[in-house]
Homo-oligomer: A and B are copies of this chain.
Amino acid sequence: MVAFKGALIDLGGVVYVGTTPLAGAVEAIARLHKAKLPVRFLTNTTRTPFKTLQGQLKRMGLAVAAEELLTPALAARRIIEAEGLQPHFLIHPALHADFKGLAPGKQEAVVIGDAGAKFTYPALNAAFRALNRGATFLALANNRSFRDADGQLSLDAGPFVAALSFASGREPRVLGKPSPDFFEAGLKALGCRAEEAVMIGDDVEGDVAGAMAAGIAGVLVRTGKYETGAEASITPPPTFLAEDLAAAVDWTLSRT
């Protein structure tokens, strides 16, 4: 068995719920840092910009450095900068903060997130026409729906990604979990290979099965959105089932 050289950790439901750190999470992260195991926190948020997320973590007393955070918007920004893209944005208004100060690009791109009320026919049609002209197609997420403020499910980014994909015949690069691209970006940031990394998450599909499909060990925690028996819903089953982040970190550090 290969020793772990890095850890990928989901935030919501693993490190905190709402604005409260989960019991033992602060100490668990401190132990990872003390052991000098490289860590990246992978979150699928497509509504909270990086600076806001950093502020929230700080207020919760969580010692997470800026370079330890990876969001779909940050991953998109890196691709935009690396490939010299000129994006059309179909994203949540708050998220524009993550794309400030980009240099003008040479090649068009469509960057789609959960734009909510900004998903208008003219905006979607402009994105469709850009795709027809050959624009790069980046999706911050591909979720079907989310639990809205009124308690009911509402349309997430995925249906609009599906609409543009159907219309243009083009497939997007999806930047959130469980996209292999997103886990690859996490591995690259950790500086280790898939079999040397562990992913700790509460979402058996998006976090655990997604990571395992990319060759990363998958640890499912019984906090956040975990529901009893979830570990039996994926094949192969999670590499390890942990009570919480503290137990997941114990297991991880015992294998470094």
Contacts and interface: CB of A to CB of B under 8 A. Distances in A.
Interface of A: 115-122, 124-125, 128-129, 132, 144-145, 152-156, 158-160, 162-167, 169
Given A159-B164, A166-B158, A129 B117 contact: no
A119 B121 contact: yes
Pick the most buried of A119, A160, A165, A166: most chain B CB atoms within 10 A of its CB: A166
A153 B166 contact: no
Given A119-B120, A128-B155, A162-B167, 13 more contacts: A117-B120, A117-B121, A121-B155, A124-B159, A125-B155, A128-B153, A129-B153, A129-B154, A155-B167, A156-B167, A159-B164, A159-B166, A162-B163
A180 B243 CA distance: 53
Q: Is the interface of A mostly helix, strand, loop or mixed?
A: helix
Contacts of A122: 117
Pick the most buried of A125, A132, A164: most chain B CB atoms within 10 A of its CB: A125
A124 B129 CA distance: 21
A131 B118 CA distance: 22
A159 B165 CA distance: 8
Pick the most buried of A115, A120, A156, A167: most chain B CB atoms within 10 A of its CB: A167
A144 B167 contact: yes
Contacts of A121: 115-120, 155
Contacts of A162: 159, 162-163, 165-167
Q: List the 10 closest pairs (A to B, CB-CB), nearest first.
A: A159-B163, A162-B166, A159-B167, A163-B163, A119-B121, A117-B121, A159-B166, A162-B162, A144-B167, A125-B155
